[in-house]
Structure 1
């Protein structure tokens, strides 16, 4: 049996956060979970709770309650959004917070958004490690991975 990497371990923690979301409340949006890690310790957790509410990344940053330490990593089950809707772009919030690295599970399946959050982060100097436990992250939201809007 393959030993899981630290990225896989922390992504599974983010998946556990995502599973706290209730599809009836998040729809039409997907369930998403996030954790913030500093020096190998989870210091912030969040999940997307309801349509129109703060996204998982913002909830995890609020849970942290302070600026992240240099070298902090944010794990998120779905690519951070890059557009300003009801909540603002999560990619921008991550950049402004000072997070150094973002580890992403699944990419946004919609052609308009797919990869844009990663590009926004990279252009701002944030290190990005995509596609960690993609299948497990996509399984959180059956049907969402094939969705096109």
Structure 2
């Protein structure tokens, strides 16, 4: 039953997917005599961490002597609202079951210690792998200081990079539309920005990702045809030399070093936890050089590969011949078929934390 209630916490937390960054997703379930008496989750960044408040409000007086299940360690510091630990102590719960400790140094283990000092039994590590996966981007940024990166590409059946995505993938409910909702930013090449509509999510209520355009050797001007001045604030150009961008209003940052490590650090400093690197460089330029050593330098944590049911004539080898000097195995591979296209939706390259 403990595992069942913790999985419900994760299910609740995922309702806020794409809305809590840079905060983690958190769910809470209150149980008494084997029955759920209250539920809550953190709905959106910028709002109080009211998952505990919602759950305790649901439970009312029944919260006394109940067991609280929470996917991430309750906080013990003051922010917009008092600490979650105080709410639990005040409600007189008898036990708290925690999915995982919080890697944030201002939280880590302090919430658990506060609850135990108040005489509340605390158990840690229930469905820990599931809770780690729920907030893998948040955890990665806390432990490394860099944004969590996922590489995405579409391949033909004969292994050639396709400069596009599958039928319906970018429509509501499509895998690409859902990815765009889940990530804080999407990295694209300037070639893609000049010729293709920039990535957006069509999911209901989605917070749109920041579009990060990589411009190397671009020259003095870059025209992004799918942007207008009203939407220019949702894009940033990272360049190796000064460049004038149209339309006006797009932020341009000239980097001293144009490499993925510096880019991920810069994006993390801007508050981004997760970044989707959208590789559509069929011409062999743009992003390829950034990804040459991604595995050896542990810069890409996951890959998403879409296999399109087409056979493309190509004069050269596959453009995914990068990553490092050694082969490596991918872990926890998941796949499904969507509109005749086979998608590998999750394959782990490197994760800095372990269960």
Task: Answer whether TM exceeds 0.5 for this pair.
Answer: yes
Instruction: Pick the aligned partner of 1:11 from 6, 14, 17.
Output: 6
Residue of structure 2 in register with 1:3 after alignment: none
Q: Aligned residues, how many?
A: 142
* Paired residues for 1:30-41 under 5 Å: 30-41=24-35
1:132 aligns with 2:126: yes
Instruction: Check whether the contact 1:33–1:76 (CA below 8 A) recurs between aligned residues.
Output: yes
Counterpart-to-counterpart distance in 1, 2:106 and 2:81: 18
Residue of structure 2 in register with 1:59 after alignment: 54
Counterpart-to-counterpart distance in 1, 2:24 and 2:133: 11
How does the TM-score come out when normalised to structure 1? Answer: 0.89
User: Once the 2 structures are TM-superposed, how far is the Cα of residue 70 of structure 1 from its aligned partner?
Assistant: 4.2
Instruction: Check whether the contact 1:76–1:103 (CA below 8 A) recurs between aligned residues.
Output: yes
Residue of structure 2 in register with 1:26 after alignment: 20
Q: Which 5+ residue runs of structure 2 have no aligned equivalent?
A: 146-355
1:87 aligns with 2:77: no
User: Once the 2 structures are TM-superposed, how far is the Cα of residue 54 of structure 1 from its aligned partner?
Assistant: 3.4
Q: Structure 1 residues 143, 53: closer, same or farther in 2, change over 3 A?
A: same
Tell me which stretches of 4 or more aligned residues in structure 1 moved more than 4 Å: none
Residue of structure 2 in register with 1:48 after alignment: 42
Instruction: Check whether the contact 2:93–2:120 (CA below 8 A) recurs between aligned residues.
Output: yes
Q: Structure 1 residues 112, 69: closer, same or farther in 2, change over 3 A?
A: closer
Residue of structure 1 in register with 2:71 after alignment: 77
Instruction: Check whether the contact 1:78–1:137 (CA below 8 A) recurs between aligned residues.
Output: yes
Q: Structure 1 residues 69, 112: closer, same or farther in 2, change over 3 A?
A: closer
CA-to-aligned-CA distance 1:52-108 (integer Å, 9 cap, x gap): 3232122211222x1235430000000000001012100011000111100000110
CA-to-aligned-CA distance 1:29-72 (integer Å, 9 cap, x gap): 011001000100001010100123232122211222x1235430
Taking CA–CA contacts closer than 8 Å with sequence separation of 6 or more, which of the two structures ends up with the larger relative contact order? Answer: 1
Residue of structure 2 in register with 1:112 after alignment: 106
Instruction: Check whether the contact 1:52–1:87 (CA below 8 A) recurs between aligned residues.
Output: no
Structure that is richer in helix per residue: 1
Question: Aligned with 1:54: secondary structure?
Answer: coil
Counterpart-to-counterpart distance in 2, 1:42 and 1:135: 23
Larger Rg: 2
Q: Which 5+ residue runs of structure 1 have no aligned equivalent?
A: 1-5
Counterpart-to-counterpart distance in 2, 1:52 and 1:68: 30
Question: Aligned with 1:143: secondary structure?
Answer: helix
Counterpart-to-counterpart distance in 1, 2:16 and 2:130: 16
Q: Structure 1 residues 69, 48: closer, same or farther in 2, change over 3 A?
A: closer
Counterpart-to-counterpart distance in 1, 2:56 and 2:8: 16
Structure that is richer in strand per residue: 2
Instruction: Check whether the contact 1:109–1:147 (CA below 8 A) recurs between aligned residues.
Output: no
Question: Aligned with 2:70: secondary structure?
Answer: strand
